[in-house]
Structure 1
Amino acid sequence: MSASDLLEGLPSRVHDVYAKFAQETPDHPAFVEAGRSWSYRQFSDAVEAASRDLRELQIRPGDRVMVASENSVALGAILFAIGRLDAWAIAVNPRLSARELEQIRSHSGARRVLFNSALSREAADHALRAGASTRSIGPFGGIGVAPLNEEARAEPVEADAARQVAALMYTSGTTGTPKGVMLSHRNLLIAAKTSGVLRRTGPADRIYGVLPMSHIVGYSILLISTLMHGATLHVVSKADPAALAEAIAKDGITTLYGVPATYQRLLEYKAVKGISRLDRGRLRMMCVAGAPLDLTLKGRMEEEFGIPLLNGYGITECSPGLAGVREKRPADDETVGPILPGVEHRIVDRNGHEVPAGSVGELHVRGPNVMLGYYRSVEQTRAAIDPDGWFNTGDLARINGEGDLYIVGRTKELIIRSGFNVYPAEVEAVLNAHELVVQSAVVGRKVDGNEEVVAFVQLLPGAAIGVDELKSYSAGLLTSYKRPGEIVILDALPAASTGKILKHKLRELANGSKIDPATAAG
C-alpha cells in the first residue's frame, strides 16, 4: 500500500469522513456514551447544529477555537463543527492548570474558548475564571462560552486539504514548553485511513475511546478513524480500570488502544480485587503506544487475553502514526513494528549522515502525515523540518534486517555517563520487570563533568520493598554504568491525561537537589 493508494478517495475535509455512513447506514451507532447510543444520522445533525451556533458566536473561517473538555460526544461534534467553518480546532484537557490553559489561549490567539462545564468540575472552574456564559452548542447543554476575543485575526483559508489547518494541537515534548502543531486536513485523514486499513476497522467494531481527544491518538486514531470506517466509538471521559474491565466483558469492545499505563492499571486492578482472570468478551485487538513497552507487561497482557499486544510508535507532529506491529506478524520483543505505508525514513548520525544498517541513530521521516509546522514559530519549524521535507523526530532508533523499528530513546533523554551511552528505556525495562513495580521512569542528573542515572519508581499498593533492595535487584541485571545512582519511590509518577509520564518534571526534580526518598514519596 503506497501513499498514492492511501490518498485515493480521501475527502477534502475531516468533517466529511462520516457523511457516507450518515447517508447509507444512518441508524448505525457512531458513539456510545454513558449508556446512550448516538446514530450516524444523529451525530451528523448535531455537528450541523453546532456549526450554526458557532457561526452565531462570530466564529469565522481561519479563526482558532479552543475547547476544554473531557472525552465526550459533545467534544467530538464541536471539533467537527469548527472544521465545517474552516476554523482551527484546539482541543485541550480541562485538567490543565489555569496557567497552562492561558498559555495556549494566548499563543493561539483563539477567537473563542469553550468549556464543557456540564461534564467536569475542572472545566466549570475554568469557565468561571474566564467569565464565560453558559449556553447550548447544538444539542449539547452546559457549554461555557468565554467572551469574544475582538483582537483575534483570522488566518488565510486554503482550498487544498494539504494546506488548510484542521487542528492546532499543543504538545510540551520533553521541555514542558507548549508548541502548537499545525495539522492539516490531509495529515489527519491519511493517518486515520492508514490506521483503519491496517487494523481492519469496520462497522462491526466497537472501539474503546479512553485516550483523550485532546491528544493526537484520541483525536486522529480514535475519533476520526472510527467514523471514517463506520465503526462505533465507546466514549469514556476518564480512565478507570474497573470500568474498562467491565466494558471489555459486557459491552462488546473489539479494539482497545492505550498507553502502557492503561494496561498496567488494568492488571493492578485485577491483582487488588483478587480476580482470577479478566473476561475477554469480544476483544480482538489490543494496541499500545506513547511510551516504551516493557516485555513483562506485554507478556502478562497477552497471557491474560490470549491475543497479541501490538506495539506502535508515533508523534503528534506526524498525525501521529509512524510504525506499528502488524496483526498478521506479531512480535515477541519490544519492536514498534515496520514503518507505516507512505512514510519515508532514514536513520542518521549527528552530522546528518545515514548510519550503517542496524546501527542506532536519529530517526528522520517524510510523508503526507508530517505537520505543516509549529504555529507562530518559524525558527522551531526550520529546526524540525529541513528544506527537503525531512522531519527530525528527536528519537534514537535502529532497524533490524527484517525492517522492524526499535526506539532506543529520546535524543534529549540520552544519558552519557562516564563516556558511555545509557538509554533510559533499557533501565526502565529492568525495573518494570520486578513483580512489585507498577512503572518507573529514568532521567539523567548533571554532576561535575558527568551525568548520574536517577530512577523514579511506583510500587504496587502495599508492596514491602525498599530502595536498597531495588538497587540490589537492578545491580544484578545491569552493567555498572547503567545502574541507577539513586532510586526514588513515589506514590505516583507525574503523568499527562493519557498516562504518559512527564519526564521533564522528574528531570527538574532530579536536577534541583539531592532527593530524599522518604519526603519525595510523601
Structure 2
Amino acid sequence: MSRLNLIPNILIRQAEEHCQKVAFSGPGWAITYGDLEKRTRRVAAHLVSAGIGRGHFVAIVLGRCLQAVESVLAITRAGAVGVPLDPRSPSSELANVLEHSGARVIITDSRHLATVRTAAREGSIIILNTEIPDVDATEGGYRIARYQDWIEDDECLTLDINIDDLGEDEEAFLHYTSGTTSLPKGVLSNQKSWLLNVSSLVSAFELTPEDRFFWPLPLFHCIGHLLCIIATVAVGASAYLPDADQTPFDSLRDTQARETTLIVGAPTTFHDLIDAARLSDSMSSLSLPRLRACMYAGSSAPESLSAQVKELFGVPLLNNYGCTEGCGSIAVSKPGHIYRQNSSITLLPHWEIKLVDPDGNQVNDGEQGEVWISGPGLMLEYYRETRSAFTADGWYPTGDIAIRSSSAAEPELTLVGRRKEIIIRGGENIHPHELEHVLLRHPGVADVVVAGIPHRLLGEIPAAFIVKSAADLDLDLSALLTACREALPDYKVPTGN
C-alpha cells in the first residue's frame, strides 16, 4: 500500500479534487473536504509543535460531532496514536483507560470536562473544543489549550513541521473493547488493516461518492471509525451526524438528512424508527427519495425486523458482522441477499475463516463451531498484554459461535451465539464481571451473578441475581443502582424493563 493511499493523503486528494463538496454535516452545520483538510492539518501541526507524534497516545472524549471526526484524522496526520473513548464513561473508568494507554493529551468539550479533569493525571494537556471563558490555561495542574485557536491558526503552517508521514504498518489507533471473551482491552491497530476493510466494504455495499450516510451511532465504536469516518473520506462520500438530543426519526426530517442513501444503526435504532413511525401515524413528513439500504451492526436482529424495515422504508436491512480486533468488518450481507434469522452473511475477500470445536478441531459444514479468523485486517495486538491474542499459527478466536454453509453460490455464515457470557445490550458490550464487582462492594451483598435477559428492543439487558448477606436484611435497591451509576456508564446498569 503506497503512502498515496493512506488516510492523510486520501484526505488531501479529496480536498484537491472535491474542495467544495460537503464531507460531514449535522443540524445547522456542514464542512467541505477543503475545510476538513485545512482544519485537521492545523490541529496536526499544533500537536507536533507540542511534542506529540510517533509513540504518543491522544485520547478523544467527545460525543458524535465534527470535532470527533477531525480529531481522529488530525492525530493520524500528526503520526500519533488516536484513542477514541466512550464519553459516557464515569471518571473511574476513564481514569483506568487513560492510565493503561498512557494518554497524556485529551481532546474533549465542556460537557465532559469535569469528568476528564477528575480522570486525567497531573501534567496532562486538555484540548478543549468549546469556549469556557473562566477556565485558566494551567488550572488544576493541567495545561488547557483551545481547539478553536488551533484550527484558526494559519501561522503554524509556516513552521517547519513534519506531518502526514505515518507508515501503513505503524501504530495508529487504540480502541477499547469489552471484546467477546474478557474484560476491556486495548486493541492496537494500523492504517492498513482499516483501509483493507474499507476497500472490501466499498465493493460489497457498492459505495460511491454519491452516497450519504445517516449516522446515529457513537463514533468511538469500531463501526463508526470504519464506516462513518474512514470509509466516508476514502470514498469521497458524505455523512450526516444527527444531534444527540434528537430522536433518529426526527433527525431524518432535517433537510440535510433527506439526501440519505444509507442508514446505519444498531437493531435498537431501527426498532425506535419503526415505533416512532407508528406513533406519528404518517410517513408523509419523512421523505428519503435516495435511500437504498439500511445496515445494522453490534448485535443480532430478528427476521421480523428486516420485514418491518422493508415495509417502512422499502429497502433491505443489511448486516455487518465484525469485531474491534478485526478492525470493524469480517462478513456482510450484500444487497440482494435473502435475510434470515441471525443473518446470512458472506465473508469479505481478504479474510480466512474456520469454525472449530472446543478442542480446536475444524468442524464440518452445518455444524456449530467457534469462528476463528486470519488475515491482514487483524489488529496488531492487545496493547500491554503479555499473552498473545492469537493462536500459534496466527488465528484469532472471536468467541462467536456460527454455522457455515457452502451450498449457496458463496459460502455463508449464520451466527448462533457467543462462547462466553458477554451481554450485548443494543450493540453495547457488557461483561458481567464489571457489574458484579460493583455490586459485591455493597455491604448487604454476599454474592451476585449477572446475566443477560431478553429485551424486545435492545436484544438483551443485564440482570443481577443477588444473595443477601442476611436473609432478613431489607436490601436498599435504590442504593445499589446509585452505586452502579456512579461506577459505570448508564447502559451497563440494570434497568428492570
Q: State whether TM-score is above 0.5.
A: yes
1:172 paired residue among 162, 171, 178: 178
1:280-291 correspondence to structure 2 within 5 Å? 280-291=288-299
Structure 2 match to 1:386: 391
- Separation in 2 of the partners of 1:202 and 1:259? 23
Per-residue deviation at 1:92? 1.1
Name the structure 2 match of 1:256.
263
1:214-264 C-alpha deviation (Å, 9 max, x unpaired): 100001111100110011111235262233431499521111111101101
Counterpart of 1:235 in structure 2 is 241
Which of the residues 42, 55, 58 maps onto 1:49? 42
Q: Which residue number corresponds to residue 467 of structure 1?
A: none
Q: Which residue, out of 105, 114, 117, partners 1:125?
A: 114
Figure out how many residues of one structure are paired with residues of the other and give that number.
427
What is the CA-CA distance between 1:176 and the residue it aligns to?
A: 7.1
Name the TM-score, length of structure 1 as normaliser.
Answer: 0.73
Gaps of 5+ in 1: 1-6, 150-156, 415-423, 433-440, 444-450, 460-492, 494-499
Question: Percent sequence identity over matched residues?
Answer: 26
State how far apart, in whole Å, the 2-side matches of 1:10 and 1:257 are: 30
Residue range with higher mean Cα deviation, 360-369 or 11-20: 11-20
Q: Post-superposition shift, 1:66? A: 0.4
Return closer, same or farther for 1:180/1:331 CA change in 2, 3 Å cut-off: same
Instruction: Give a deviation string over 1:143-172, Cα, whole Å, max 9, x none.
Output: 9998369xxxxxxx996513x111100001
- Alignment partner, residue 332 of structure 2: 324
SS of match in other structure, 2:74: helix
Deviations 1:437-487, CA, capped at 9 Å, x for gaps: xxxx9x9xxxxxxx999734358xxxxxxxxxxxxxxxxxxxxxxxxxxxx
Counterpart for residue 274 of structure 2? 267
Distance 1:349 1:397 in 2: 11
Q: Which runs of 5+ in 2 are unaligned?
A: 145-163, 433-448, 479-494
* Counterpart residue number, 1:457: 455
TM-aligned CA deviation for residue 133 of structure 1? 7.9
* Partner in structure 2 of residue 147 of structure 1: 142
Q: CA deviation at 1:124?
A: 3.0
Aligned-pair CA distance for 1:55: 2.2
Q: Which residue of 1 aligns with 2:103?
A: 110
Change (3 A) 1:103 1:378: same
Does residue 1:521 correspond to 2:462, yes or no?
A: no
Residue 192 of structure 1: aligned partner: 198
Q: Using the TM superposition, give the Cα deviation of residue 26 of structure 1 relative to its aligned residue in structure 2, in angstroms.
A: 1.0
Inter-CA distance 190–104: structure 2 relative to 1 (3 Å threshold): same
Aligned counterparts of 2:228 and 2:300: Cα–Cα separation in 1: 21
Deviation at 1:34, TM superposition (A): 2.2
Q: CA deviation at 1:511?
A: 6.3
Per-residue deviation, residues 102-157 of structure 1 (Å, max 9, x unmatched): 1110100113122122xxx2x133245358887667xx7669998369xxxxxxx9
Taking a change above 3 Å as real, the CA distance of residues 62 and 148 of structure 1, as seen in their structure-2 partners, is farther
After superposition, the Cα gap between the structure-2 partners of 1:11 and 1:330, relative to the gap in structure 1 and judged at 3 Å, is farther
2:154 aligned residue: none
Q: Is the 8 A contact 2:243 2:251 kept in 1?
A: no
State how far apart, in whole Å, the 2-side matches of 1:248 and 1:314 are: 32
Residue 134 and residue 89 in structure 1: after superposition, are their counterparts in 2 closer, same or farther (change >3 A)? closer
Closer/same/farther in 2, CA of residues 10 and 220 from structure 1, 3 Å limit = farther
Separation of aligned partners in 2, 1:10 and 1:357: 41
Post-superposition offset of 1:292: 0.8
Across the aligned residues of Structure 1 and Structure 2, the Cα RMSD in angstroms comes to: 3.7
**Could you tell me how far 1:21 is from its partner in structure 2?**
1.4
